[in-house]
Amino acid sequence: MSQTRCAGSTCASRWVCSKDGGYRRHPHEHCSRVPSCSGPVASPCRGGGRHEQFEERRRRFGLPEEPSRVIRPAHVCLLTSSHPVTYSRFLNRQAVSLARAGYRVTLIGLGGVKSDSGSSCGVELVPLAERRLVSKLSVLRDITRTLCIVKPHVCGCLDPWTLSVGLAFSRSRPEVSVVYDASEWFSRAFLERRDLPLPIRAAGYFAIESIEYQASRHADAILDTNATRAERFLRRGCDVTLVPNFPPLELLPPPVVNRAKEVVFTGLASRHRGFDLLLAALARVSHCVAGVRLSVMGEFDPRDDMRTGCEEFVRNHGLGDSVSLHGWVPYGEMLRRAASGIVGVILLQPHRRNDYTGLPNKLFEFMGCGLAVVAADTPEMRHVVTKVGCGWLVDPTNPDAIARVLVEALSDPDECIRRGLAGRAAVFDRYNWGVAEVDFLRCYRRLLE
């Protein structure tokens, strides 16, 4: 059968005439060459002429209107090789927002006993086995294979290692966009680890710096949590979209009227988050404030190897009835349990630049639950705590200073509740995910629509 070339680079006509004078669908809608048939071919589209001619012939022969094509939702794939698929910033904030906006969302990350593959809140979860050091390459290989299967339109890369995967994937498929969510200062965090030899940490630091430099040149969008951390990209001439770690309002529990004298600690229990100093301060507070308790929701950092020492400290100081170790708790349940306390503690250590420059999500979670906060005196947290009047600032390296502030707070429950309610009001007014997701979704819409 002879072939004739269409007028344009794609097939100009979706309908062709048949021998009996009727019309049929063209079998090759998107090809650049159209097989000729014995009947005349509908006029190629030159301006708007083809459409008018088709409508005239459709009415003449009594044909149905051309059915509208089914538009599949754009597919966003969020990737992390450093966090579990249930991590609140990625699942409860970003992934859920994208799914509600009508996009198909797949979240690939670390998994295990806490998360199974399946769907959560309209998000497809793909958990991978966690591996360390050299074996991390196996995780990245699994992520690459999954990307080749799901074929997303946008790769949202949530750490430098998946960023390298996303950039390589987009080079082979130029239609794929790459978003880098620099939610932490990853190069500094790797350099400041204490479980690895210095040469490995230095090599990792320069590798991550190189990957983030590539992001500044080739990523389609860069997200960060606060202005202090975003400076490293702004110095390279990049546009950065700030997406703070504000909590979703729908997950915040109602305020609790009768609160216990309970201090709340969430997240990894480790030295760089001041957990050992908090225990030392609690031993002093327990002599001054009767009935004080510490509720810990989070696991011990396996890289810190401090669980045994903390348990011995609790036993030796008679704190067994005052400290509750709940381990890992689902995000919504963690917020509900926290709301029964009266003070939330954040003791990020200043010698770690990644923590010193951070604005942690737990600050806004404590505020949203109505807890007064005792927070490390770092630039980003100082700005929020002093502006809102939702708690106290403290030197996080000094157990005596931490104890004095806790005694002051716990000795005046009414003042704690007043500051806690001030923080909750600020969260409902401006420090919530509904505010942050506006810029977040605008960034993705720009790439997808």
Domains of the chain, start order: 3-61 (no CATH), 75-246+433-448 (3.40.50.2000), 252-429 (3.40.50.2000)
Q: Give strand ranges (E) for 347-400.
A: 372-376, 391-394
Residue for token digits 């106290």?
392
Which whole number is the average pLDDT over 163-180?
Answer: 93
Residues in the chain: 449
Which whole number is the average pLDDT over 384-390?
Answer: 96
β-pairing, 118-120 vs 104-110, is unpaired
Average pLDDT, the chain: 83
Check whether 133 has a pLDDT greater than 70.
no
Check whether 9 has a pLDDT greater than 70.
no
Structure-token pair, residue 120: 């959560």
Which whole number is the average pLDDT over 403-407?
Answer: 96
The more confidently predicted of residues 67 and 357 is 357
pTM of full prediction above 0.85: no
Mean pLDDT comparison of 25-29, 225-229, 381-385, highest-scoring range: 381-385
Identify which of 382, 385, 360, 355 has the alpha carbon closest to the alpha carbon of residue 373: 385
Check whether 70 has a pLDDT greater than 50.
no
Burial of 262 (0-12, 13-18, 19+ CB in 10 A): buried
**Pairwise CA distance, residues 67 & 18, whole Å:** 19
User: Does residue 191 contact residue 205 with C-beta atoms inside 8 Å?
Assistant: yes
The more confidently predicted of residues 308 and 345 is 345
How does residue 103 score in pLDDT terms, banded at 50, 70 and 90? Answer: very high
Which whole number is the average pLDDT over 333-345?
Answer: 94
Q: H helices within 19-93, ranges in order? A: 49-61
β-pairing, 33-35 vs 3-5, is antiparallel
3-state helix, strand, coil in the chain (%, to 5): 45, 20, 35
**Pairwise CA distance, residues 221 & 97, whole Å:** 17
Please, which residues have CB within 8 angstroms of residue 395's CB and are 6 or more apart in sequence? 376, 377, 401, 402
66: left (phi over 0), alpha (psi -120 to 50) or beta: beta
Compute the radius of gyration of the chain from its Cα atoms.
Answer: 28
pLDDT recorded at residue 23: 38
Element (DSSP H or E) covering residue 137: helix 136-150
β-pairing, 118-120 vs 123-128, is antiparallel
Check whether 25 has a pLDDT greater than 70.
no
Lowest mean pLDDT among 20-24, 75-79, 269-273, 416-420: 20-24
